[in-house]
Amino acid sequence: MKKLKNLSIASKLYLMVFGLCAVMSLVAGFVYYGVTSQMGRRDLDTSITDIAAFVASLDDVETFIREGDESKNLSAAFDALSNMSQLDLLVICDATSTRQYHTIHDRIGEGFIGGDESPILAGAKPYISMAVGTMGLQRRAFHAVTDEDTGEIIGFVMASVLNSRLDEIRARNIRIFAAILVFIFLLGAAIAQGFLRSLFRSLLGHDPEEMAELYVERGELLESMEERVALSQQLTGANAMVETLRTVNHEFKNKLHVILGLLETGNTVGAKEYILEASLASSEAVSDIGKRITNASVAALLIGKQMRANELGMTFILKQDTVFLDKNVPSTESLVTILGNLIENAMEELNSKDFEEKRIEIGLYMSEDHTIILCDDTGGGIPEDILVKIYDRHTSTKGDGHGNGLHTIREVVDFYEGTIHIDTEKGEGTSIRIDLPV
Protein backbone atom coordinates (compact mmCIF):
# COMPACT_ATOMS: atom_id res chain seq x y z
CA MET A 1 0.00 0.00 0.00
CA LYS A 2 2.85 2.41 0.83
CA LYS A 3 4.37 1.79 -2.58
CA LEU A 4 1.05 2.65 -4.24
CA LYS A 5 0.78 5.86 -2.24
CA ASN A 6 4.25 6.89 -3.39
CA LEU A 7 3.37 6.46 -7.08
CA SER A 8 2.96 9.54 -9.23
CA ILE A 9 -0.47 10.63 -10.44
CA ALA A 10 0.53 9.65 -13.98
CA SER A 11 1.45 6.14 -12.81
CA LYS A 12 -1.81 5.82 -10.86
CA LEU A 13 -3.83 6.91 -13.90
CA TYR A 14 -1.96 4.40 -16.07
CA LEU A 15 -2.63 1.60 -13.57
CA MET A 16 -6.30 2.61 -13.32
CA VAL A 17 -6.86 2.52 -17.09
CA PHE A 18 -4.81 -0.65 -17.55
CA GLY A 19 -6.53 -2.29 -14.56
CA LEU A 20 -9.96 -1.50 -15.98
CA CYS A 21 -9.00 -3.03 -19.32
CA ALA A 22 -7.53 -6.06 -17.54
CA VAL A 23 -10.68 -6.69 -15.49
CA MET A 24 -12.87 -6.29 -18.56
CA SER A 25 -10.72 -8.72 -20.53
CA LEU A 26 -10.66 -11.32 -17.75
CA VAL A 27 -14.42 -11.25 -17.22
CA ALA A 28 -15.17 -11.26 -20.94
CA GLY A 29 -12.68 -14.09 -21.44
CA PHE A 30 -14.13 -16.25 -18.68
CA VAL A 31 -17.65 -15.65 -19.96
CA TYR A 32 -16.51 -16.52 -23.49
CA TYR A 33 -14.81 -19.67 -22.25
CA GLY A 34 -17.84 -20.77 -20.23
CA VAL A 35 -20.34 -20.04 -22.97
CA THR A 36 -18.33 -21.63 -25.80
CA SER A 37 -17.57 -24.72 -23.70
CA GLN A 38 -21.24 -25.23 -22.91
CA MET A 39 -22.24 -24.58 -26.51
CA GLY A 40 -19.61 -27.04 -27.77
CA ARG A 41 -20.87 -29.77 -25.44
CA ARG A 42 -24.47 -28.96 -26.33
CA ASP A 43 -23.69 -29.28 -30.05
CA LEU A 44 -22.07 -32.67 -29.43
CA ASP A 45 -25.07 -33.78 -27.37
CA THR A 46 -27.41 -32.73 -30.15
CA SER A 47 -25.31 -34.60 -32.73
CA ILE A 48 -25.14 -37.92 -30.87
CA THR A 49 -28.82 -37.71 -29.86
CA ASP A 50 -29.93 -37.10 -33.46
CA ILE A 51 -27.79 -39.97 -34.78
CA ALA A 52 -29.10 -42.42 -32.14
CA ALA A 53 -32.69 -41.39 -32.96
CA PHE A 54 -32.07 -41.66 -36.71
CA VAL A 55 -30.59 -45.17 -36.51
CA ALA A 56 -33.36 -46.36 -34.14
CA SER A 57 -36.01 -45.12 -36.60
CA LEU A 58 -34.69 -47.11 -39.60
CA ASP A 59 -37.14 -49.74 -40.85
CA ASP A 60 -34.55 -52.51 -41.03
CA VAL A 61 -33.09 -52.03 -37.54
CA GLU A 62 -35.79 -54.19 -35.92
CA THR A 63 -34.96 -57.07 -38.29
CA PHE A 64 -31.25 -56.40 -37.78
CA ILE A 65 -31.59 -56.83 -34.00
CA ARG A 66 -33.71 -60.01 -34.26
CA GLU A 67 -31.98 -61.80 -37.15
CA GLY A 68 -28.62 -60.11 -37.75
CA ASP A 69 -27.35 -58.66 -41.02
CA GLU A 70 -26.52 -61.52 -43.33
CA SER A 71 -25.92 -59.28 -46.35
CA LYS A 72 -23.74 -56.89 -44.32
CA ASN A 73 -25.45 -53.96 -46.06
CA LEU A 74 -26.65 -52.31 -42.86
CA SER A 75 -23.32 -52.89 -41.12
CA ALA A 76 -21.56 -51.10 -43.97
CA ALA A 77 -24.04 -48.24 -43.73
CA PHE A 78 -23.45 -47.97 -39.98
CA ASP A 79 -19.68 -47.94 -40.57
CA ALA A 80 -20.07 -45.09 -43.08
CA LEU A 81 -22.30 -43.16 -40.66
CA SER A 82 -19.71 -43.45 -37.87
CA ASN A 83 -16.90 -42.27 -40.15
CA MET A 84 -18.80 -39.28 -41.53
CA SER A 85 -20.17 -37.97 -38.23
CA GLN A 86 -18.64 -36.74 -34.98
CA LEU A 87 -19.24 -40.17 -33.44
CA ASP A 88 -16.51 -42.22 -31.84
CA LEU A 89 -18.78 -45.23 -31.25
CA LEU A 90 -22.10 -46.52 -32.55
CA VAL A 91 -23.56 -49.57 -30.78
CA ILE A 92 -26.81 -51.49 -31.39
CA CYS A 93 -27.91 -53.98 -28.75
CA ASP A 94 -30.85 -56.33 -28.24
CA ALA A 95 -33.04 -56.50 -25.14
CA THR A 96 -30.41 -58.61 -23.32
CA SER A 97 -27.78 -55.88 -23.88
CA THR A 98 -25.86 -58.04 -26.33
CA ARG A 99 -24.07 -56.08 -29.03
CA GLN A 100 -25.53 -56.76 -32.49
CA TYR A 101 -23.40 -54.01 -33.99
CA HIS A 102 -20.30 -52.17 -32.75
CA THR A 103 -18.06 -49.68 -34.56
CA ILE A 104 -15.19 -52.03 -33.68
CA HIS A 105 -16.47 -55.24 -35.25
CA ASP A 106 -14.47 -57.52 -32.94
CA ARG A 107 -16.73 -56.41 -30.08
CA ILE A 108 -19.95 -57.63 -31.79
CA GLY A 109 -21.61 -60.40 -29.79
CA GLU A 110 -20.22 -59.25 -26.48
CA GLY A 111 -22.27 -57.77 -23.63
CA PHE A 112 -22.76 -54.01 -23.32
CA ILE A 113 -20.39 -52.37 -20.82
CA GLY A 114 -21.23 -49.44 -18.57
CA GLY A 115 -24.54 -50.33 -16.91
CA ASP A 116 -26.19 -47.07 -17.99
CA GLU A 117 -28.47 -48.83 -20.51
CA SER A 118 -30.97 -50.07 -17.89
CA PRO A 119 -33.29 -47.02 -18.01
CA ILE A 120 -33.74 -47.16 -21.79
CA LEU A 121 -34.61 -50.88 -21.66
CA ALA A 122 -37.07 -50.10 -18.86
CA GLY A 123 -38.93 -47.63 -21.07
CA ALA A 124 -37.22 -44.32 -20.28
CA LYS A 125 -37.25 -41.50 -22.81
CA PRO A 126 -34.03 -40.89 -24.81
CA TYR A 127 -31.28 -39.57 -22.54
CA ILE A 128 -27.56 -38.79 -22.31
CA SER A 129 -25.17 -40.23 -19.72
CA MET A 130 -21.48 -40.37 -18.83
CA ALA A 131 -20.06 -43.88 -18.31
CA VAL A 132 -16.90 -45.92 -18.74
CA GLY A 133 -17.10 -48.33 -21.66
CA THR A 134 -14.71 -50.49 -23.64
CA MET A 135 -12.75 -47.45 -24.87
CA GLY A 136 -12.85 -45.42 -21.66
CA LEU A 137 -15.03 -42.56 -20.36
CA GLN A 138 -17.73 -41.63 -22.88
CA ARG A 139 -20.66 -39.27 -23.29
CA ARG A 140 -23.51 -41.48 -24.53
CA ALA A 141 -26.91 -40.90 -26.12
CA PHE A 142 -29.48 -43.74 -25.83
CA HIS A 143 -32.58 -44.35 -27.92
CA ALA A 144 -34.90 -47.38 -27.71
CA VAL A 145 -35.81 -49.63 -30.64
CA THR A 146 -39.40 -50.91 -30.40
CA ASP A 147 -41.43 -53.61 -32.14
CA GLU A 148 -43.53 -51.88 -34.80
CA ASP A 149 -46.61 -53.98 -34.04
CA THR A 150 -46.56 -54.40 -30.25
CA GLY A 151 -44.52 -51.37 -29.16
CA GLU A 152 -42.33 -53.68 -27.06
CA ILE A 153 -38.73 -52.56 -26.52
CA ILE A 154 -36.50 -55.04 -28.32
CA GLY A 155 -33.19 -53.21 -28.00
CA PHE A 156 -31.49 -49.86 -28.11
CA VAL A 157 -29.06 -47.70 -30.06
CA MET A 158 -26.16 -45.97 -28.31
CA ALA A 159 -24.15 -43.21 -30.00
CA SER A 160 -21.20 -41.77 -28.09
CA VAL A 161 -18.14 -39.55 -28.14
CA LEU A 162 -15.09 -40.21 -25.99
CA ASN A 163 -14.34 -37.86 -23.14
CA SER A 164 -11.01 -37.17 -24.81
CA ARG A 165 -12.93 -35.36 -27.58
CA LEU A 166 -14.52 -33.10 -24.95
CA ASP A 167 -11.03 -32.51 -23.55
CA GLU A 168 -9.88 -31.47 -27.03
CA ILE A 169 -12.72 -28.93 -27.24
CA ARG A 170 -11.84 -27.55 -23.81
CA ALA A 171 -8.15 -27.34 -24.76
CA ARG A 172 -9.01 -25.50 -27.97
CA ASN A 173 -11.20 -23.04 -26.07
CA ILE A 174 -8.42 -22.46 -23.54
CA ARG A 175 -5.96 -21.68 -26.35
CA ILE A 176 -8.41 -19.22 -27.89
CA PHE A 177 -9.12 -17.77 -24.43
CA ALA A 178 -5.38 -17.30 -23.77
CA ALA A 179 -4.85 -15.63 -27.15
CA ILE A 180 -7.75 -13.25 -26.51
CA LEU A 181 -6.39 -12.38 -23.06
CA VAL A 182 -2.93 -11.61 -24.42
CA PHE A 183 -4.40 -9.45 -27.17
CA ILE A 184 -6.67 -7.49 -24.80
CA PHE A 185 -3.91 -7.01 -22.23
CA LEU A 186 -1.68 -5.56 -24.96
CA LEU A 187 -4.58 -3.44 -26.18
CA GLY A 188 -5.20 -2.25 -22.61
CA ALA A 189 -1.57 -1.23 -22.25
CA ALA A 190 -1.75 0.67 -25.55
CA ILE A 191 -5.00 2.41 -24.52
CA ALA A 192 -3.51 3.40 -21.16
CA GLN A 193 -0.39 4.77 -22.85
CA GLY A 194 -2.48 6.67 -25.38
CA PHE A 195 -4.63 8.11 -22.60
CA LEU A 196 -1.57 9.41 -20.77
CA ARG A 197 -0.12 10.95 -23.92
CA SER A 198 -3.41 12.72 -24.56
CA LEU A 199 -3.46 13.90 -20.94
CA PHE A 200 0.09 15.27 -21.12
CA ARG A 201 -0.76 17.08 -24.36
CA SER A 202 -3.72 18.72 -22.60
CA LEU A 203 -1.35 19.73 -19.77
CA LEU A 204 1.11 21.23 -22.26
CA GLY A 205 3.72 18.57 -21.45
CA HIS A 206 3.69 19.10 -17.67
CA ASP A 207 3.38 16.32 -15.13
CA PRO A 208 0.01 16.39 -13.27
CA GLU A 209 1.80 16.90 -9.92
CA GLU A 210 3.65 19.90 -11.34
CA MET A 211 0.39 21.46 -12.50
CA ALA A 212 -1.27 20.83 -9.12
CA GLU A 213 1.68 22.37 -7.25
CA LEU A 214 1.73 25.33 -9.62
CA TYR A 215 -1.97 25.87 -9.06
CA VAL A 216 -1.53 25.87 -5.27
CA GLU A 217 1.51 28.16 -5.37
CA ARG A 218 -0.16 30.71 -7.60
CA GLY A 219 -3.69 30.35 -6.25
CA GLU A 220 -3.26 33.03 -3.59
CA LEU A 221 -1.67 35.41 -6.07
CA LEU A 222 -4.36 35.23 -8.74
CA GLU A 223 -6.62 38.22 -8.25
CA SER A 224 -8.98 37.94 -11.22
CA MET A 225 -11.18 35.14 -12.50
CA GLU A 226 -9.62 35.50 -15.94
CA GLU A 227 -6.21 34.44 -14.58
CA ARG A 228 -7.73 31.49 -12.69
CA VAL A 229 -9.48 30.31 -15.85
CA ALA A 230 -6.26 30.49 -17.88
CA LEU A 231 -4.44 28.20 -15.41
CA SER A 232 -7.21 25.79 -14.40
CA GLN A 233 -8.37 25.02 -17.95
CA GLN A 234 -5.19 22.95 -18.36
CA LEU A 235 -6.42 20.67 -15.56
CA THR A 236 -9.98 20.40 -16.85
CA GLY A 237 -9.07 17.93 -19.59
CA ALA A 238 -7.82 15.46 -17.01
CA ASN A 239 -10.93 15.89 -14.85
CA ALA A 240 -13.33 15.30 -17.76
CA MET A 241 -11.43 12.21 -18.93
CA VAL A 242 -11.24 10.74 -15.42
CA GLU A 243 -14.98 11.36 -14.95
CA THR A 244 -15.68 9.56 -18.22
CA LEU A 245 -13.59 6.60 -17.04
CA ARG A 246 -15.56 6.49 -13.78
CA THR A 247 -18.79 6.42 -15.77
CA VAL A 248 -17.48 3.60 -18.01
CA ASN A 249 -16.43 1.62 -14.94
CA HIS A 250 -19.81 2.13 -13.23
CA GLU A 251 -21.83 1.06 -16.28
CA PHE A 252 -19.50 -1.85 -16.97
CA LYS A 253 -20.06 -3.20 -13.44
CA ASN A 254 -23.83 -3.02 -13.96
CA LYS A 255 -23.56 -5.00 -17.18
CA LEU A 256 -21.39 -7.60 -15.44
CA HIS A 257 -24.15 -8.11 -12.89
CA VAL A 258 -26.62 -8.82 -15.72
CA ILE A 259 -24.22 -11.33 -17.33
CA LEU A 260 -23.51 -13.08 -14.04
CA GLY A 261 -27.23 -13.25 -13.27
CA LEU A 262 -27.95 -14.89 -16.61
CA LEU A 263 -25.15 -17.41 -16.08
CA GLU A 264 -26.29 -18.19 -12.53
CA THR A 265 -29.78 -19.03 -13.84
CA GLY A 266 -28.30 -21.25 -16.55
CA ASN A 267 -29.34 -18.93 -19.38
CA THR A 268 -26.06 -19.16 -21.31
CA VAL A 269 -27.73 -18.33 -24.62
CA GLY A 270 -29.16 -15.17 -23.10
CA ALA A 271 -25.74 -14.27 -21.67
CA LYS A 272 -24.11 -14.70 -25.07
CA GLU A 273 -26.74 -12.56 -26.79
CA TYR A 274 -26.42 -9.87 -24.11
CA ILE A 275 -22.62 -9.78 -24.50
CA LEU A 276 -22.90 -9.46 -28.28
CA GLU A 277 -25.60 -6.78 -28.13
CA ALA A 278 -24.59 -4.76 -25.05
CA SER A 279 -22.35 -1.74 -25.41
CA LEU A 280 -21.27 1.05 -23.09
CA ALA A 281 -22.30 3.64 -25.63
CA SER A 282 -23.18 3.69 -29.30
CA SER A 283 -19.94 3.71 -31.28
CA GLU A 284 -21.65 5.85 -33.91
CA ALA A 285 -22.69 8.42 -31.29
CA VAL A 286 -19.21 8.54 -29.74
CA SER A 287 -17.63 8.91 -33.17
CA ASP A 288 -20.10 11.66 -34.04
CA ILE A 289 -19.24 13.61 -30.88
CA GLY A 290 -15.52 13.26 -31.61
CA LYS A 291 -15.93 14.56 -35.15
CA ARG A 292 -18.09 17.56 -34.32
CA ILE A 293 -16.53 18.59 -30.98
CA THR A 294 -12.81 19.17 -31.43
CA ASN A 295 -12.21 20.24 -27.83
CA ALA A 296 -11.04 16.97 -26.20
CA SER A 297 -12.25 17.88 -22.70
CA VAL A 298 -15.72 18.96 -23.85
CA ALA A 299 -16.01 15.83 -26.01
CA ALA A 300 -14.96 13.62 -23.07
CA LEU A 301 -17.58 15.29 -20.85
CA LEU A 302 -20.37 14.77 -23.42
CA ILE A 303 -19.41 11.13 -23.98
CA GLY A 304 -19.43 10.50 -20.23
CA LYS A 305 -22.83 12.18 -19.83
CA GLN A 306 -24.21 10.18 -22.75
CA MET A 307 -23.13 6.92 -21.06
CA ARG A 308 -24.71 8.06 -17.80
CA ALA A 309 -27.95 8.95 -19.62
CA ASN A 310 -28.05 5.53 -21.29
CA GLU A 311 -27.64 3.89 -17.90
CA LEU A 312 -30.57 5.91 -16.50
CA GLY A 313 -32.81 5.04 -19.46
CA MET A 314 -32.63 8.50 -21.01
CA THR A 315 -32.00 9.57 -24.59
CA PHE A 316 -29.03 11.91 -24.97
CA ILE A 317 -28.82 13.74 -28.31
CA LEU A 318 -26.24 16.11 -29.76
CA LYS A 319 -28.24 18.38 -32.05
CA GLN A 320 -27.59 17.62 -35.71
CA ASP A 321 -26.49 21.15 -36.61
CA THR A 322 -23.86 21.25 -33.84
CA VAL A 323 -20.39 22.13 -35.12
CA PHE A 324 -17.97 23.28 -32.45
CA LEU A 325 -14.36 23.99 -33.39
CA ASP A 326 -11.85 24.61 -30.62
CA LYS A 327 -10.86 28.17 -31.43
CA ASN A 328 -12.02 31.64 -30.41
CA VAL A 329 -14.14 30.15 -27.62
CA PRO A 330 -14.38 30.69 -23.86
CA SER A 331 -12.06 28.68 -21.64
CA THR A 332 -12.40 24.91 -21.48
CA GLU A 333 -13.18 25.13 -17.77
CA SER A 334 -16.04 27.55 -18.42
CA LEU A 335 -17.55 25.35 -21.11
CA VAL A 336 -17.26 22.20 -18.95
CA THR A 337 -18.77 24.03 -15.96
CA ILE A 338 -21.76 25.28 -17.95
CA LEU A 339 -22.41 22.04 -19.86
CA GLY A 340 -21.84 19.80 -16.85
CA ASN A 341 -24.30 21.73 -14.67
CA LEU A 342 -26.93 22.06 -17.42
CA ILE A 343 -26.88 18.35 -18.23
CA GLU A 344 -26.79 17.28 -14.57
CA ASN A 345 -29.80 19.50 -13.79
CA ALA A 346 -31.71 17.99 -16.73
CA MET A 347 -30.81 14.42 -15.65
CA GLU A 348 -31.94 15.07 -12.07
CA GLU A 349 -35.25 16.45 -13.33
CA LEU A 350 -35.89 13.52 -15.72
CA ASN A 351 -34.88 11.00 -13.06
CA SER A 352 -37.20 12.53 -10.43
CA LYS A 353 -40.43 11.27 -12.02
CA ASP A 354 -41.72 8.67 -14.46
CA PHE A 355 -41.95 10.92 -17.52
CA GLU A 356 -43.40 9.45 -20.72
CA GLU A 357 -40.28 10.54 -22.63
CA LYS A 358 -36.87 11.22 -21.11
CA ARG A 359 -34.77 13.13 -23.64
CA ILE A 360 -31.93 15.64 -23.37
CA GLU A 361 -30.71 17.57 -26.42
CA ILE A 362 -27.49 19.58 -26.40
CA GLY A 363 -26.44 22.11 -29.02
CA LEU A 364 -23.09 23.93 -29.34
CA TYR A 365 -22.53 26.67 -31.91
CA MET A 366 -19.87 29.26 -32.55
CA SER A 367 -19.59 32.33 -34.71
CA GLU A 368 -16.86 34.94 -35.04
CA ASP A 369 -17.90 36.73 -31.86
CA HIS A 370 -20.28 34.41 -29.98
CA THR A 371 -20.51 30.90 -28.51
CA ILE A 372 -24.05 29.59 -28.04
CA ILE A 373 -25.00 26.65 -25.79
CA LEU A 374 -28.47 25.05 -25.89
CA CYS A 375 -29.91 22.46 -23.49
CA ASP A 376 -33.45 21.08 -23.95
CA ASP A 377 -35.16 18.48 -21.77
CA THR A 378 -38.60 16.84 -21.69
CA GLY A 379 -39.09 17.16 -17.92
CA GLY A 380 -41.92 18.78 -16.01
CA GLY A 381 -40.77 22.37 -16.45
CA ILE A 382 -39.75 24.93 -13.79
CA PRO A 383 -42.52 26.18 -11.43
CA GLU A 384 -43.09 29.95 -11.44
CA ASP A 385 -42.21 30.37 -7.76
CA ILE A 386 -38.84 28.72 -8.43
CA LEU A 387 -38.23 30.53 -11.74
CA VAL A 388 -38.25 34.00 -10.15
CA LYS A 389 -35.32 33.08 -7.87
CA ILE A 390 -33.71 30.44 -10.07
CA TYR A 391 -30.21 31.94 -9.85
CA ASP A 392 -30.14 32.17 -6.07
CA ARG A 393 -27.85 29.69 -4.30
CA HIS A 394 -29.68 26.56 -3.01
CA THR A 395 -32.82 27.32 -5.01
CA SER A 396 -34.15 23.91 -6.09
CA THR A 397 -37.27 21.72 -6.22
CA LYS A 398 -35.19 18.76 -5.02
CA GLY A 399 -34.55 19.69 -1.40
CA ASP A 400 -31.38 20.38 0.57
CA GLY A 401 -28.01 19.85 -1.09
CA HIS A 402 -29.24 21.00 -4.51
CA GLY A 403 -29.73 24.25 -6.34
CA ASN A 404 -26.17 25.45 -7.00
CA GLY A 405 -26.07 24.50 -10.70
CA LEU A 406 -27.67 27.59 -12.25
CA HIS A 407 -26.09 29.84 -9.63
CA THR A 408 -22.65 28.61 -10.76
CA ILE A 409 -23.60 28.97 -14.42
CA ARG A 410 -24.80 32.53 -13.78
CA GLU A 411 -21.42 33.47 -12.29
CA VAL A 412 -19.54 32.18 -15.36
CA VAL A 413 -21.96 33.85 -17.80
CA ASP A 414 -21.73 37.15 -15.93
CA PHE A 415 -17.94 37.00 -16.12
CA TYR A 416 -18.15 36.86 -19.93
CA GLU A 417 -20.96 39.47 -19.94
CA GLY A 418 -23.20 36.90 -21.58
CA THR A 419 -26.93 36.15 -21.38
CA ILE A 420 -29.15 33.30 -20.27
CA HIS A 421 -32.63 32.73 -21.68
CA ILE A 422 -34.94 30.13 -20.09
CA ASP A 423 -38.06 28.91 -21.87
CA THR A 424 -40.07 26.50 -19.71
CA GLU A 425 -43.61 25.13 -19.75
CA LYS A 426 -45.28 22.97 -17.14
CA GLY A 427 -45.50 19.34 -18.26
CA GLU A 428 -43.57 20.03 -21.48
CA GLY A 429 -39.99 20.62 -20.40
CA THR A 430 -37.34 23.32 -20.33
CA SER A 431 -35.08 24.94 -22.93
CA ILE A 432 -32.06 26.98 -21.86
CA ARG A 433 -29.99 29.14 -24.22
CA ILE A 434 -26.68 30.65 -23.15
CA ASP A 435 -24.92 33.26 -25.29
CA LEU A 436 -21.27 33.99 -24.49
CA PRO A 437 -19.40 36.77 -26.31
CA VAL A 438 -15.85 35.74 -27.31
Q: Are 390 and 381 in contact (CB under 8 A)?
A: no
pLDDT in tens, 339-373: 989 999 999 999 988 899 999 999 998 877 888 99
d(CA 212, CA 203): 11
pLDDT in tens, 96-123: 999 999 988 888 889 998 889 999 999 9
Report the pLDDT value the prediction gives residue 158, as an integer from 0 to 100: 93
| pLDDT band at residue 237 using 50, 70 and 90 as cut-offs | very low
User: In this model, does residue 232 exceed pLDDT 50?
Assistant: no
Q: Is the pTM of this model over 0.75?
A: no
| pLDDT band at residue 397 using 50, 70 and 90 as cut-offs | low
Report the pLDDT value the prediction gives residue 124, as an integer from 0 to 100: 92
pLDDT in tens, 375-386: 999 999 988 888
Report the pLDDT value the prediction gives residue 38, as an integer from 0 to 100: 76
User: Poorest-confidence range of 173-177, 358-362, 431-435?
Assistant: 173-177
Give 3-state DSSP helix, strand, coil % of the chain, rounded to 5: 55, 20, 25
Question: Domains in the chain, ordered, with CATH?
Answer: 1-192 (3.30.450.20), 203-437 (3.30.565.10)
Own/partner pairs, 11-18, CB within 8 angstroms, 24+ separation: 13/192, 13/195, 13/196, 13/199, 13/208, 13/242, 14/192, 14/193, 14/195, 14/196, 16/245, 17/188, 17/191, 17/192, 17/195, 17/196, 17/245, 18/188, 18/189, 18/191, 18/192
Report the pLDDT value the prediction gives residue 35, as an integer from 0 to 100: 73
